[in-house]
Amino acid sequence: MTEIASSRRRVPVRLSRALRPGDVLLIALGNGVLIVGMWIRHGGLSELTSLGAVLIAGGQLTALLGTYVALIGLVLMSRSPWLDRLIGGPRLAYWHRWVGFSCVWLLVAHTVLTTLGFALTTGNNAVAETWSLLTTYPYVLMATVGLVMLVAVGITSVRIARRRMTYETWYFIHLYAYLGMALGFAHQLVVGTDFLSDPLAIAYWIGLYVVTIVAIVVFRIGQPVQSFFRHRLRVSHIAPEGDGVVSVYVTGRDLGRLAAQAGQYFLWRFLAGDGWWRAHPFSLSAAPNDQYLRLTVKVTGDGTSAIQRLAVGTPVFAEGPYGAFTADERKWPRVLLIAGGIGIAPLRALLEAMPASRGAITLIYRASRPEDVVFQDELGALMKARGGKLHYLIGRRVELRRDPLDARHLHRNVPDIAQREVYICGPEGMIKTVQRSLHQLHVPSAQIHEEHFAY
- For residue range 354-406, list pLDDT tens digits in order: 988 999 999 999 998 888 899 999 999 999 999 999 999 998 876 777 788 99
Indicate the average pLDDT of the chain: 85
Report the distance separating Cα 165 and Cα 156, nearest Å. Answer: 8
Please state the rounded mean pLDDT for residues 128-150.
86
Instruction: Report pLDDT for 81.
Output: 80
What are 301-329's pLDDT values in tens digits?
666 778 888 899 999 999 889 888 889 88
User: Is residue 255 predicted with pLDDT exceeding 70?
Assistant: yes
Q: Residue 236: pLDDT band by 50, 70, 90 thresholds? A: very high
Banded model confidence at residue 86, pLDDT cuts 50, 70, 90: confident
CA distance readout (Å), 308 to 171, 228, 238, 406: 22, 22, 7, 36
Percent of the chain with pLDDT over 70: 89
At residue 5, the pLDDT reads 40
Kindly report, residue by residue over 37-69, the tens digit of the pLDDT: 888 887 777 778 889 889 988 988 998 999 899
Using alpha carbons, select from 414, 427, 411, 409 the residue that is nearest to residue 368.
427
- The predicted-structure confidence for 416-449, as pLDDT tens digits, reads as follows 999 999 999 998 889 999 999 999 999 999 999 9
Mean pLDDT across 222-246: 91
Q: Is the pLDDT of residue 2 over 60?
A: no
Name the least confident of 46-50, 79-83, 120-124, 302-306: 302-306
92 pLDDT band, cuts 50/70/90, is confident
Pairwise CA distance, residues 192 & 234, whole Å: 49
Which among 17, 82, 84 has a CA at the least distance from the CA of 265?
A: 84
Question: Is the pLDDT confidence value at 234 over 90?
Answer: yes
The CA-CA-CA angle for residues 61, 183, 179, to 5°, reads 115
Q: How does residue 353 score in pLDDT terms, banded at 50, 70 and 90? A: very high
* pLDDT over 70 (residue 193): no
Q: Beta partners for 246?
A: 240, 297
Longest dimension (CA), the chain: 81
pLDDT band per the 50, 70, 90 thresholds, residue 192: low
pLDDT of residue 454: 58
Lowest mean pLDDT among 220-229, 252-261, 269-278: 269-278
CA distances from 446 to 34, 411, 422 (A): 33, 19, 9
Contact 335, 354 (CB under 8 A): yes
Q: Report the alpha-carbon distance of residue 136 to residue 128 in Å, rounded.
A: 12
Q: For residues 402 and 255, give the distance between their C-alpha atoms in angstroms, rounded to a whole number.
A: 45
Are 321 and 311 in contact by the 8 Å Cβ rule? The answer is no
Q: Identify whether the C-beta of residue 386 lies closer than 8 Å to the C-beta of residue 361.
A: yes
Task: Tell whether the model's pLDDT for residue 350 goes beyond 90.
Answer: yes
Instruction: Identify which of 302, 237, 255 has the alpha carbon closest to the alpha carbon of residue 453.
Output: 302
Query: Does the pLDDT at position 300 exceed 80?
Result: no
> Alpha helix locations (H) across 158-222?
159-162, 167-174, 176-191, 199-216
- The answer to which of 32-46, 84-98, 116-130, 306-320 has the lowest mean pLDDT is 84-98
